[in-house]
Amino acid sequence: MNREILKAIALLKASENIAIPTETVYGLAANAYDEIAIKKIFETKGRPLFNPLIVHIHSIDYLDKVANSIPPKAQVLAEHFWPGSLTLVLPKNHNIPDLVTAGKATVAVRVPNHPLTLELLHNLDFPLVAPSANPFGSISPTTAQHVSDYFQERIPLILDGGACQNGIESTIIGFEGDDPILYRLGALSLDEIESVIGKVKIKTTNEISPEAPGMLLKHYAPSTETIIVDAIENFIQNNQTKNIGTLTFYKAVSSENVVHQEIVSPKKNYKEAAAELYKALHRLDKMNLSLIVVERFPNESLGQSINDRLERATKK
């Protein structure tokens, strides 16, 4: 076995947190049955305890140790999309500590699609809880370097699995009875999910009692002032601010006031755009710009999930 994985196993067994790669974003992982280790995650991230964590398992075979009374459509989705960027919210099994679920009767669970983390999970006799490995509210990490920029001194190991292929968080689906409800848009598009189980209801949430606090209105935010517009060229021509950075889907912007441009997919490919999104925001945020201007994506396919993140990142 890979030496880094052996180290990871030893640290997790000793109640430590480590960073793990997934195909969505890097996670800050702990033994899902170990409350001491789980508390460290909340402390390191500055995450409020009301915000529940996602449990990561190695395969669908482990699901019944984590969740009970699985609705038929949940079973279909799990078989279809795992390993992959889909999190299911299901009635929780008593094995799962209340700290994981913030006292809720449900648990969020997924099988991540990354070879290193799958190998790690296969060699553990417990699942892993793993929120994104960033301080609460800031841009999620999609490379080992992003994690190390945030937490270098605070975590004993970052398993480097390269850049995350999907680049935004998993899509979260819950159930009311047997009816599927979308809690968070994400790396798996709604179209893909609906093509398997039919129409999914979209649940609007509020900030006081969030069903999924990934739905908190302000989240994923750069520290530089960032705004979102519909027509960036127009906005830039009519704005006097100097030292601007831009983020667009595939178009370039021409203005002397723009000193750095991030074009996330010149080929106009949504998957590539999602994979590049947070990397581009991290770069822009390091450049001492006066303003970051991002252009809204077309509201289709993964453009919908990308817009969701951009809206939250730019919320005042």
Which residues make up the interface to ligand TXA (CB under 6 A)?
22, 24-25, 27, 51-54, 87, 89, 101, 104, 106-108, 112, 130-132, 169-170, 172, 183-184, 211-214
User: Which residue's C-beta sits nearest to Mg ion?
Assistant: 132
CB of 130 to ligand TXA, least distance (A): 5
Task: Select the binding partner of residue 261 from ligand TXA, Mg ion, none (C-beta < 5 to 8 A, by kind).
Answer: none
What are the tokens at 219? Answer: 């989240």
Coil, strand or helix at 87: strand
The Cα-based distances of 288 to 11, 31, 134, 224, 314 in angstroms read 37, 38, 20, 8, 17
Contacted entry of Mg ion, ligand TXA, none for residue 247, CB cut-off 5 to 8 Å set by kind: none
Nearer to Mg ion, 46 or 103 (CB): 46
Residue closer to ligand TXA by CB (options 270, 278) is 278
Cα–Cα distance, 166 to 274 (Å, whole number)? 6
Interface ranges with Mg ion (CB under 5 A): 132
Q: Which is nearer to Mg ion, 169 or 295 (CB)?
A: 169
CA 159 from chain center: how many Å?
Answer: 17
What minimum distance in Å lies between the beta carbon of 85 and Mg ion?
14
Q: Bridge-partner residues for 176, per DSSP?
A: 179
**Residue 8 touches which of ligand TXA, Mg ion, none (Cβ within 5-8 Å per kind):** none
- Estimate to the nearest angstrom the gap between the alpha carbon of 242 and the chain centroid: 32
Buried b or exposed e, range 137-159, using 16+ CB within 10 angstroms: ebbbbbbbbbbbebbeeebebbb
CB of 146 to ligand TXA, least distance (A): 13
Match 């809690």 to its residue by tokens: 183
Closer to Mg ion by CB, 73 or 184: give it. 184
Minimum CB–partner distance for residue 297 and ligand TXA (Å)? 19
